[in-house]
Chains A and B, each alone.
Chain A
Amino acid sequence: MPNEIKTKDDSPVVKERKTDEAVEAGLARLTPERIKNTINQVLQKETGPRFKAYVETCMHCGLCAEACLYFLSNDRDPAFSPAGKVKQTIWEMLEKKGEVSIDFLRRAVHIAQTQCNVCKRCSMYCPFGIDIAYLMLLVRRICHKLEITPLYIQDTVNSHSATMNQMWVKEDEWIDTLQWQEEDAREEFENLRIPLDKEGADVMYSVIAPEPKFQAGLLYQAATIMHAAGINWTMPSSPGWDNSNMAMFTGDNEISGRIARTFYETAARLKVKRIVMGECGHAFRSTYDVGNRWIGWAMPPFEVVHALEFYHELLTSGRIKIAQKFKKTVTLHDPCNVSRGRGLHDMAREVTNMLCESFIEMTPNREHNFCCGAGGGVINCGPPYKGERMVNNRVKAEQLKATGAEVLIAPCHNCHSGLEDIVHHYDLNMEVKFLGDIIYETMEKKIYKPGE
């Protein structure tokens, strides 16, 4: 195998399937009747021709297998192929008319929540374009209703439901963090503001909850970029600031929709023209495709601009000028939700080339790139599953190592965190950065004036 790699401590591959206390407690509460009723309710009342078409169209050809990083990372074990995962979960539920065992459900929730990133790479390999991610999300929906969703991701959904952000960030903590970052950033730009609740601003900037919780420096960076670019912008002080949506990944569609509604109604309250979001992929999927549609908005009611597109606009319009290009060799990871999902991969390369002197492609790339292995809520299932996640990401590590790059650009939070884990686990000796990190490092620290 080319670029064969070892783990940092040369630890043995983890093969057994983990579980956690929430899954086990949920399974212990189940009765055969509840299992059967729940599965049949979801399959009969919440699916339609789409599901029927997928089930009836699949020829079991196995072409999807080559697409899946889990299959490739696990020595082509068919159990990890997309069709194999469908066979072990939703097909059996359907075939047995919901009469499945506790052990079956333990395996099903494990597969659907931790062995599929719902990255949709397999749909490109399927001759019929079957959306296998949808089928896995259907399994997650059943698991949600059976209350056997893994612990840590369920806790983030609980947080969403109570606070409208995924990390239990209290309302005062959010505002206080913005004011703290604003104050710190005034060391660089003496008049810099993070304008809160500015009705009629052109842009509402939104982020995900890990930023105020753990990565406040990203708020600082974003504020300096907005300020230098002369953007008429605002951030909400109220719930609705967090654009993330883990409920979308546990099948809690009701909470997912409530999150999307809060998000867009916040933008409507502030009377902004458009919403710019930080470097997060799943949040884009939630606001652009999933959460909005559950609510009934066929398309987002506001223009939603992913950071990638926004940076491209700032750089090409001259609002942000690069003082000196980034010198280290970089490679670029394509986040599934903005690459396969939105087609921003070429724009990402243009931004990277505007910022960096030396860009090395990873292979495969663009819409064919491998998932980071963290997305789709997999990393959010937390520590119990981290060891498996590392094993299941071996091909990604091999792909990264082959580039020889010093820096890995990951313009998505989940990708960034997941790739940090891979880099560390496989001792790849790469720095993982957001595009915003590089813009902040390389930009001219002066305020844009039209015509200058």
Chain B
Amino acid sequence: MEENKSFDWSTDLKEVPVREWEDRFVWVEESHVSPDGETIASIVNVEEGVFTVCENGETWDNEYDKAWSLRPLPDGKFAACVSSDEEWTLSISGDEWENWFDFIWDLQVNQDGSSLSLAIQKDMEYGMAVNDEPWGQMYGNINEMVLSDTGSVAAVVQVSPMAQADIEVFKQGIFSCAVNGKAIEKNFLNIWDISFDSSGKNVAYGVRLDRTDYTIVVNDIAWDKKFQSVWKPVFLSGEDSVVAPVKEGGKWALYKDGQPFWKTQYNQIWKMVVSEKTGNIAAIASNKFGKWTIAQNDQPWNMTADQMISDLFYSKDGSTLVAVLKDKGFWTLAVNQKKWDLSADKVFTPCISSDGKVVCVVIERQGQYFLAVNNIVIPNGYDFMATPVISPDNTKILQKAVKDGVYQRLIMSTDKIL
């Protein structure tokens, strides 16, 4: 990421004592670390019914009746949902939004941190707010909220009332996809999995048309063909085209703009990722019951996992594809078809160098956290670790870890590890 250039890559070690927080506060909640690793923060309980956030030992100016959903932001600040006198707002490192609501949740932050979105409820009506701007139109219910990289938001909203257990009204379709607060004038039984294109102007989503028929809708135009089921569609990078896994004849296939795309029919296929650089498409797939693999451009990997493949990531240059998977009871990674030897109780979100040559990830074994780099586990165990960062020149790793009550921001040279 470009912004990583501004990080301090030259200071080997910086430390923040955190154990003393436990003496200062009644309790200290989970630790969160800023992307640049300079700040560690937690929600803290000051006294009965009084909460604030502690950043590197300094508390926010304001205290609240409740605080939850603390998140680090790309600019090094932190955001949390906070409540006073039974109203809720977002506080960004102590600065509150002007608007307060009856409830807020689902805090999302776009990639560059320019937009923060929330689901909001006021007077039992539902909508979203972006950067302190609530939607002008509120609805009967809201689900499936999405924030795009451009700051546009969308959600599934209930546009017609429904009496209790009124399945006839449900059958008529009471849900619509609302983009930036405006509901698209097309209702469906169900809507799931909204995707934005890169412009943030177009949306694609899966719908159920009636009891048994599903399809994909782009903005307000449904694909002609109906399917037994569908999963999340995605826009191809730099194109208007949409691809989606669809089920027909009991098998799953990938369709593009309503037409068959990949030739292979799978037992299951979902969670597509598209490399912006190469245009390659990869998806989690299964072509044998209980065996999971990755299909890239319709070519399955020569590797399977017997329990789960949970996530899939391309490096920025598209050369490396990393899968997080669970096999024979343990979690590990597979990189470009090769399963790592290491096995862990938990594997967190991997970090991939822009050239695809370095993959590092935090793992947990028997309660201790470790950093693993290119299949090598660094022996020192920690009490907690946050997602590492690789330097723009791919030569250093920023490790963020807590041990014996001290937070350490450590810069390590990849040469010394590999």
Partner of B167, one of A151, A258, A297: A151
User: Chain A nearest CB: distance from B149 CB in Å?
Assistant: 20
Min CB gap A140→B, angstroms: 13
Q: Is the C-beta of A239 less than 8 angstroms from some C-beta in chain B? A: yes
A238 CB-CB contact with B under 8 Å: yes
A325 proximal to B (CB < 8 A): no
A273 within 8 A of B: yes
Partner of A298, one of B156, B208, B290, B345: B290
Q: Which residues of A contact B306 (CB under 8 A)?
A: 298
A144, A193, A268, A302: the one contacting B29 at CB < 8 Å is: A193
A25-B168, A298-B290, A301-B307 as given contacts; A254 in contact with B214, CB under 8 Å: yes
Contacting chain B: which of A171-179, A403-411, A444-452? Answer: A171-179
Q: Of residues A45, A155, A162, A197, which shows the largest number of chain B Cβ atoms within 10 Å of its Cβ? A: A162
Partner of B228 from the list A151, A254, A272, A302 (CB cut-off 8 Å) is A254
The answer to whether A190 touches B48, judged by C-beta atoms less than 8 angstroms apart, is yes
**B226, CB-defined interface residue at 8 Å:** no
Q: Tell me whether A172 and B307 are in contact in the complex, defined as CB-CB below 8 angstroms, given that A145-B212, A155-B165 are known contacts.
A: no
A296 touches B214 (CB 8 A): no
- Chain B nearest CB from A222 CB (Å) reads 19
Contact of A346 with B by CB under 8 A: no
Instruction: List B contacts of A199 (CB < 8 A).
Output: 30, 348
Residues of chain B lying within 8 A (CB to CB) of residue A200: 346, 348, 364
Judge whether B289 and A237 touch: CB under 8 Å. no
A94 within 8 A of B: no
A196 interface residue (CB < 8 Å to B): yes
- The answer to whether B106 touches A238, judged by C-beta atoms less than 8 angstroms apart, is yes
Whether B119 lies near A145 (C-beta < 8 A) is no
A154-B308 CB under 8 A given contacts A144-B211, A147-B211, A301-B326: no
Q: Identify the interface centre among A45, A161, A171, A176: most chain B CB within 10 Å of its CB.
A: A171
Q: Does A170 contact B (CB under 8 A)?
A: yes
Complex partner residue of B105 from A154, A163, A175, CB under 8 angstroms: A175
Interface size class of A (residues with CB under 8 A): 35 or more
Question: In the complex, which range does the number of interface residues on chain B fall in?
Answer: 35 or more
Residues on the B chain within 8 Å of A237, using CB? 69, 105-106
A271 and B228 within 8 A (CB): no
CA distance A172 to B364 in the complex (A): 32
Query: With a CB–CB cut-off of 8 A, which chain B residues contact A268?
Result: 308, 310-311
Q: Which of B250-290 contact A (CB under 8 A)?
A: 250, 267-268, 270, 286, 289-290
Residues in B whose Cβ lies below 8 Å from that of A425: none
Give B285-316 as 1s and 0s: 1 = Cβ < 8 Å from A's Cβ atoms. 01001101000000000000011101100000
Quick check: B167 and A197 within 8 Å, CB to CB?
Answer: no
Query: Closest approach, in angstroms, between the C-beta of A278 and any C-beta of chain B?
Result: 22
Interface positions of B from 132 to 164, Cβ below 8 Å from A:
141-143, 156, 158, 164
Name the contact of A299 in the complex, choosing from B103, B126, B168, B307 (C-beta under 8 A): B307
Q: Are A295 and B190 in contact (CB under 8 A)?
A: no
- Give complex CA distance A314, B268 in Å: 38
A311 at the interface (CB under 8 A from B): no
Contact A171 B250 (CB under 8 A): no
Asked if B26 lies at the interface with its beta carbon under 8 angstroms from chain A, I say yes
B129 CB to closest chain A CB (Å) equals: 13
CA distance A98 to B87 in the complex (A): 58
User: Known contacts being A144-B211, A162-B175, A254-B214, is A171 close to B119, with CB within 8 Å?
Assistant: yes
Chain B proximity of A265: nearest CB distance (Å): 7
Residue in A46, A199, A299 with the greatest tally of chain B CB atoms within 10 Å: A199
Given the contacts A172-B103, A175-B103, A265-B310, A273 and B346 also touching, CB distance less than 8 Å: yes
Residue A78 is within 8 A (CB to CB) of chain B in the complex? no
Known contacts: A162-B190, A200-B346. The answer to whether A191 contacts B29 by CB under 8 A is: no
CB-based contact A45/B250 at 8 Å: yes
User: CB-defined interface of A346-368 with B at 8 Å, one 1/0 digit per residue?
Assistant: 00000000000000000000000
| Interchain CB contact under 8 A, A297 and B290 | yes
Known: A151-B167, A162-B190, A197-B69. A191 touches B250 (CB 8 A): no
* In contact, A297 and B143 (Cβ under 8 angstroms): no
Chain A residues in the interface with B (C-beta under 8 A): 22, 25, 45-46, 144-145, 147, 151-152, 154-155, 158, 161-163, 170-172, 175-176, 179, 186, 190-191, 193, 195-200, 237-239, 254, 257-258, 261, 264-265, 268, 271-273, 295-299, 301-302
- Cβ-closest 3 pairs across A and B: A298-B290, A301-B308, A268-B310
A-B contact pairs, 29 of them (CB 8 A): A144-B211, A145-B212, A151-B165, A155-B164, A155-B166, A158-B167, A162-B141, A162-B143, A162-B175, A170-B141, A171-B142, A172-B119, A175-B103, A176-B103, A195-B29, A200-B348, A237-B69, A237-B105, A254-B228, A257-B229, A258-B192, A268-B308, A268-B310, A268-B311, A271-B346, A271-B348, A273-B345, A299-B290, A301-B308
